[in-house]
Amino acid sequence: MVHEFFHETREQFFLNEQTHGRNVRFAYFGLVYLVLLWINAANVDFAAAAASGYGSLLFLVNAFVSYNALYLLPALLLTWLVARPSLWRRLRLPGGAVWAPNMTAVLTGALTTLFFYANAKLHALYGMFINGFVINLLITPGGIESLGGSASSTIGFVLIALAFFLGHAAIFIALSFGARRFASLPTGLRRLGRPLTVLLLFSILGDHSVYAYTSAVGNKPEMLELTEGVPFYVGTSARTLFKKLGFEVASPEKALKQQGGGLQYPAKPLEVTKPEKPYNIVWLVSESWRADTLDPEIMPVTWAFAQKAQVFTHHYSGGNGTRIGIFTMMTGLPGTYWDAFLKGHEGAPIIDVLQQQGYQMSLYTSAKFSYPEFDQTVFSKVPREQLHEIDAPLAGWEKDRQNVSDLLHFIDTRDPARPFFVWMFFESPHARYYFPPESVIRTPYRDDINYATIDRDELQKDIVPIKNRYLNAVHHLDSQFARILEYLETHGLLENTIVVMLGDHGEEFMENGYWGHNSTFSDPQTRTPLILWIPGRTPAVHDVLSSHLDVVPTLMPLLGVKNPPEDYSSGYDLFSGRQRDHVVLSDWSRVGYKDADVKITLSEDLGPLGKRISGPHDEKLTPQRAQELFQSKQPQLVRLMQELGRFKQKSRHEP
């Protein structure tokens, strides 16, 4: 009898605790929701919505409120599953139904808010939310190192994460004690669960209905663009439905994405006649080398060399990041082909040509060949022993110096009877911007950049010292270029050696609201120097539009390739007399078009969202002028769409 009494008392205790726990968890997740609203509000332009009209403001507020509730669904679902009493009865751990869901609630709530805090931080600095780029950065060998974070940044991230978890635990404990004192309040709040759920469903249905309608009729696309600030917002399309209901549906904009299956590349086999006297090739690529740093003060040696070579003053990378920048310069293709190359481990045709002609090859990087995955794409056919990277914990400028020494040693000990190809990627100008004391030409400069604590206000205030740090790093880059150029000149190699010098992309310092790269297709992030030394050519400055896509088509004829450039690239031979009228830019999810009139950024599916229109050099336009330019460029965008799919295999069902 005592045993039964004890058992019933224990069961009643656990039942009471479970009820109490449910009440506390309900109140806790309500507070977590408010925290999410506070964190994500920084991304959303409510003022622009209000200026667009009360309808736009109501639409944006509704979408913002409902999506922040959706962000909590994984945490709520997992906590609900852990709180099932039947689970713990089977495990014969009745106490688990009390403490396990409480711990799950705290952990998932902290992780959710921490994730969106990092997401908001990323958006504030780089103008993008956590996406495939960031995930790839974290899981790919060498990716985290490429960010250039310091020890202070790592410590800051750890402390912030710890503060989130401890703070959430403290909130839960406080609510637990408060709920015991005011028992009726949590119970009353919990009764709101069902009506709040119904309200959420109507809210979601409402904003997606408005989105679908506006997207279909196309009468107010600027309203839909407001949702770009709502993290991971997914629009709804119902064009067919609205058409059946009798609405006048706007004609769809063409999709800017690759269609079909795998690669059909090159379009035709390459025909190559080996030159009697093949050129050596020295290909030098720098991280984050923006166009306006090529001047006599910052880069005196490189500037002097450029005066004897071919200089292209309006040159654009194929994108705003290392992955696309190097991919486009090595293949002559838009960056939208990257995934297909990676999946098929496809290499760059210029490497095939060099190998067929017996070139001695040695490639160096002060970053990693595995991040981005160049060892699986453009350099996939280069033997691993010819890909050199430094594993030692050295600063970027130290790795650059060591790699230059190794590169010169390779040239010094090569077989003089055979041509050689050397390629190097310099890291000095990559944030946090690396240089030794003797390379300082600009002061004051920031001693360190702590990614964990820096924010937009601090960037605006300290952008000059941060940029000075970058310029000092570029000055060090010049000194390493100088070592290579001096060696080639003193050893008489410039007479039969092609030299290519360019950046993978540029670097922005808040000229258009962002710092660094990988965020927009602004000129500071995409323009880079291009210097070509080709023996026997008269020095010239070319003030025409050029692209990374043009480098390979310019070199291939000099290597004996007889095919026209369109067989293996989307670029032009820069010395053919043909001038390009536009450049194409791309990143993980966007495609950019830039010509003499306009710069247009589009999402891959080219819906009403993801459309950013400016002047050719990022000038702000009125909405009316932007729409006029966009409409006038439709033929060019259709041709661009076709070019992005030209080297894709067509399925048997496609025309």
Q: Which comes out higher in pLDDT, residue 649 or 478? A: 478
Q: What is the mean pLDDT of residues 373-394?
A: 95
pLDDT tops 50 at residue 259: no
pLDDT tops 60 at residue 15: no
Tokens encoding 168: 């959430």
Domains and CATH numbers, the chain: 2-244 (no CATH), 280-644 (3.40.720.10)
Q: What is the mean pLDDT of residues 154-178?
A: 86
Question: What pLDDT is stored for residue 589 in this prediction?
Answer: 79
**Pick from 24-28, 237-241, 509-513, 538-542: least confident:** 237-241
- Tens of pLDDT, residue by residue over 477-486, are 999 999 999 9
- Tens of pLDDT, residue by residue over 620-643, are 999 889 888 988 888 888 788 778
Mean model confidence pLDDT for the chain: 84
The distance of Cα 329 from the centroid of its chain, to the nearest Å, equals 18
- Rounded Cα gap, residues 532 and 547, in angstroms: 13
DSSP, residue by residue, 299-344 = -HHHHHHHTTSEEEEEEE-SBSSHHHHHHHHHHSS-GGGHHHHHHH
pLDDT tops 60 at residue 645: yes
Tokens encoding 43: 């991304």
- Rounded Cα gap, residues 336 and 588, in angstroms: 8
Helix (H) or strand (E) holding 396: helix 396-412
What is the band of 103 on the pLDDT scale with cuts at 50, 70, 90? confident
Q: Which comes out higher in pLDDT, residue 240 or 576? A: 576
**Pick from 498-507, 513-522, 644-653: least confident:** 644-653
pLDDT tops 70 at residue 185: no
What is the band of 10 on the pLDDT scale with cuts at 50, 70, 90? very low
Question: What pLDDT is stored for residue 412 in this prediction?
Answer: 97
Tokens encoding 289: 């080398």
Backbone torsions φ then ψ of 460, nearest 5 degrees = -60, -40
Question: What pLDDT is stored for residue 212 in this prediction?
Answer: 78
Q: Which comes out higher in pLDDT, residue 296 or 203? A: 296
Question: What pLDDT is stored for residue 623 in this prediction?
Answer: 86
Q: What is the mean pLDDT of residues 596-611?
A: 68
- Rounded Cα gap, residues 101 and 88, in angstroms: 11
